[in-house]
Amino acid sequence: MASKHEGPKCHVCVQCCRSFADKYLLAAHEKSAKKEGLWKCDQSGLAVGSENDHKELVKTNMPDKCYRCEECFKTYKRKTNISRHASTSHKSVNTD
């Protein structure tokens, strides 16, 4: 029997780059990580200390075929979906 957590992990933590199949798991992770005050990328092992570093780690460690909005950090499986999101939700966001 397949677990419901085995699907694509497109919900990415902007702080440490860890990805989750379900949005509620990401929210729980972010809540517990904020209490600890230390962010570490599970994939690269790097600790990061600035928002720009977080964004760069997310870009380099993002799972294949997941696209993240740079403005609101929503994630999509298809580039067409993030392009549509950007054009309707944000006027000047680059989706590349």
**Whole-angstrom Cα Rg for the chain:** 14
Tokens for 64, please give them.
């294949």
Q: Per the confidence metrics, is the pTM higher than 0.75?
A: no
pLDDT in tens, 71-93: 887 777 777 888 888 889 887 64
Tokens for 26, please give them.
């990401």
- What is the C-alpha separation between 84 and 59, in angstroms, rounded? 20
Residue 94 carries which side chain, given as an amino acid letter? N
- Percent of the chain at pLDDT > 70 equals 50
Extents of the domains making up the chain: 9-63, 65-96
